[in-house]
Structure 1
Amino acid sequence: MKLQWRYFLLAVGFFTRFPVPSLPDFKESDLNQAARYFPLVGLLVGLLAAVVWWLASWLFNPALAVLCSMAATILCTGAFHEDGLADSADGLGGGMSRERQLEIMQDSRLGSYGAIALVGILLFKFEALSVLAPAILPFALIAGHALSRLAAVYMMATARYVRATGKAKPLATTPSRQDIVYASVFGLICWLGFALMLAVNQSALSAVHFLLITGLPVLAVGYWWRQLVLRHLQGYTGDTLGAMQQLTEVALYLGLLAWERLL
């Protein structure tokens, strides 16, 4: 248990700016064991977002409350995943060869493709969250952050890391079967828990409709992004994992909107 707690703290320290105690004898290879906790970190980030939204909604209008929530998640993660999306868009959009795409993605400057992707994803998040029913918005934030990080773990499990060095190199070992099971539990618990609540309070058919309508966009976007990255890069980088998180998070919000409209 002490070792697992260490791996969890490593995941928190790597992906967020939450303060964690110093860990003696740290080795980068320890992060290989932390993949199972990425969705759990997402649960914490989503919970923070939900609490900030709830507090802000007492003081501000719904749009400002959503902006406060988004700002909180960006601050607590250091825009880690947003940066990955922007770099991925610059690389895949601006490079004509695999080598040039990887080179562009390492450039710290923001290009036109990255700027468009970054502004676009933030606008999609803001618009989707602003029109979601307040009763399900906290659930959307928690489930969205957890499920999207699970999508990144699945990408790690089904593709190879393509750089010799990089910010995701310490994480680049393929997750074990046990890692994937743990990550799946943490990533799916909120989403499946909501479906179970629907099954109990309404009907099993309502739960199935919810799972299909909200899950299919996440699967479709995740599959599309994985295939695009594999076609261009023959594997993943840390930036493309960040992009996977951002894209599938928004996909879940859009799925929830569709589910609301079809109720």
Structure 2
Amino acid sequence: MASGFLIFISFFTRIPIGRKIEYNEEKFKKALSIYTLMGAVIGLLLSLIYLIFNSIHIVFIRGLILVIGYIVITGGIHLDGAADTADGLFSGRTGEKIFDIMSDSHIGAFGVLCLVIIVLSQFVVFSFSDIFTCFMMPVVGRASLIVGAWNKKYAKHTKGMGTAFIESIDTRVLIINLMILTVFSIMSPRRLIIITSAFATLMASYFISGLIEDKIGGMTGDTCGFITEISQIIFMILVLFLKG
């Protein structure tokens, strides 16, 4: 499981781990139960950035640095998936044509709009969020992806890492990841707000993934990135709203 977790860090972030990690599907699948812990690693780094720049009185500068930090840490991998998903789902096409658009290396108008909305939203919510929300954001994002991909099939005919991820998320994996999320939520000083916002975000993610499934017959690696990014924004907005 530890080896599988290192695969997550190697493939889904740009965090240096000191050695080259080879992809192993069995280890990858076994580590899915602790996938949400990767969010905690990202959250710790975001918290460190927050602490370093907390003395800056202009909150928008701190918000900008946090957005840049998040993109650097993750390598923008989920942003890429979100843009491809937007291009495909909002293209007005059906069937395999959607997958062709999502697989195209060129970004379209809907992809650009999606990226602008996500990055701008992150900039705003990061600017007004506290350190605990910054930490919980990627934790909730990864847990939301587990919820969104649970009980779904891989939509494309071709097989790959996305297939192993999506089709290996069973009820056991779901429950363990939700337990990890719950533990971190309870540890937060604003636990009631965090728990409420996280639960609402999980429900929204499952609903969105259901709409995606209706459109393309399941989930793909790109739609996983879309769910991750959208759920994180939903969570942070809800926290700010409940805090008043």
Identify the match of residue 178 of structure 1 among 172, 178, 193.
172
Q: 2:152·2:166 contact (CA, 8 Å) conserved in 1?
A: no
**TM-score, L = length of structure 2:** 0.90
Please name the residue that 1:34 is paired with: 31
Q: 1:182 to 1:260 in 2, by over 3 A?
A: same
**TM-score, L = length of structure 1:** 0.84
* Percent sequence identity over aligned pairs: 23
Identify the match of residue 13 of structure 2 among 13, 16, 19.
16
Q: 1:192 to 1:219 in 2, by over 3 A?
A: same
Q: In structure 2, list runs of 5 or more residues that go unmatched.
A: none
Q: In structure 1, list runs of 5 or more residues that go unmatched.
A: 200-206
Q: 1:25 to 1:249 in 2, by over 3 A?
A: closer
Q: Equivalents in 2 of 1:235, 1:90: separation in Å?
A: 17
Aligned AA for 1:190?
F
**Residue 144 (str. 1) matches residue 142 (str. 2):** no
Aligned-residue offset at 1:257: 1.2
Q: Equivalents in 2 of 1:241, 1:180: separation in Å?
A: 15
Q: 1:198 to 1:103 in 2, by over 3 A?
A: closer
Please name the residue that 1:70 is paired with: 67
Identify the match of residue 165 of structure 1 among 152, 159, 165.
159
3-state SS of 1:158 partner:
coil
Aligned-residue offset at 1:50: 1.5
Cα RMSD over matched residues?
Answer: 2.2
Q: Equivalents in 2 of 1:24, 1:225: separation in Å?
A: 33
Aligned-residue offset at 1:22: 4.0
Please name the residue that 2:237 is paired with: 254
Please name the residue that 1:232 is paired with: 215
Please name the residue that 2:46 is paired with: 49
Between Structure 1 and Structure 2, whose CA radius of gyration is higher?
1
Aligned-residue offset at 1:34: 2.3
Aligned AA for 2:204?
V
Between Structure 1 and Structure 2, how many residues are aligned?
A: 243
Q: 1:219 to 1:62 in 2, by over 3 A?
A: same
Which stretches of structure 1, 4 residues or more, deviate above 3 A after TM superposition?
A: 21-26, 209-212
Aligned-residue offset at 1:234: 1.1
Q: 1:210·1:259 contact (CA, 8 Å) conserved in 2?
A: no
Aligned AA for 2:210?
Q
Map Cα deviations across residues 111-132 of structure 1 (whole Å, 9 max, x no partner).
Answer: 1001101100111111122233
